[in-house]
Amino acid sequence: MVTPLRRSLSTRYGATLALITFGTCSLLLLFALYVLQTVYEQVNLTSQQAIEQSVARQLARDALLLGETLAENLEQPLYHSDFSAIEEILQHLREKADIGYIYVYGSDRHVIHDGTAEILHYGAPVDQMIPSGLGDDFSPSARELDRLMHVAYPIRSDSTTFGAVRFSVSYSDAQADIESMSTRLRLSFETVRQQVMAGLLLAFLALMVLTLLLSSAPAGA
């Protein structure tokens, strides 16, 4: 009578241990999967933002270099009021880059040339022709706004600033590169996430099998 009773108690203890282990491991597994998903989303978002910021900084540097070159080329034509030469330079820029607006203006902040043969905006205040909040009109600047890089660069002769050039340039090609890099990075993270999830599930199953073997061992004694 003692042996069956002991076996019954042992079976109950084994089943109880198995249930407790199963419940605890299930909770730990769910928590681990939640943490994994949270970390995956955060890392993915941070990485994408880092890519965008890196590309934006490089685009700003390139845009400023373009603005500096353009200002140097415009120095003599603007100083001598050579409108034909100014138009030729601005048209050449439009052929080489995806330009939105472009304005050459004097120290009074009024447009001198807009790159058109008719100079349609001659004399207009440049502040009225560009988006608001772009900053100083006579300091080198490159700012991203509405998927355009807005560039300003002063035109100087020696130490005297007598004008500036403002233009916007699209970076749609760079945006496509950003999306492509982000997609590849997201796929890489997704692969790692799936591998970690598979490892967690295998560890959970192995632990459950071991628990069942240990809980059934006394019953077979």
Residue 71 pLDDT exceeds 50: yes
* β-pair type (99-106, 160-170): antiparallel
Q: How far, CA to CA in Å, does 170 sit from each of 86, 167, 206?
A: 22, 10, 56
pLDDT greater than 50 at residue 39: yes
Which among 38-42, 50-54, 78-82, 205-209 has the top mean pLDDT? Answer: 78-82
Residue 34 has pLDDT above 90, yes or no: no
**CATH number assigned to the domain covering 76-173:** 3.30.450.20
Per-residue pLDDT at 46 exceeds 50: yes
Average pLDDT over residues 154-166: 90
pLDDT of residue 207: 74
Count of alpha carbons within 13 Å of 66, Cβ hemisphere only? 25
pLDDT number for residue 105? 94
The secondary structure of residue 114, as a DSSP letter, is -
Residue 202 confidence (pLDDT) above 60? yes
Percent of the chain whose pLDDT exceeds 70? 82
Higher-confidence residue of 84 and 193: namely 84
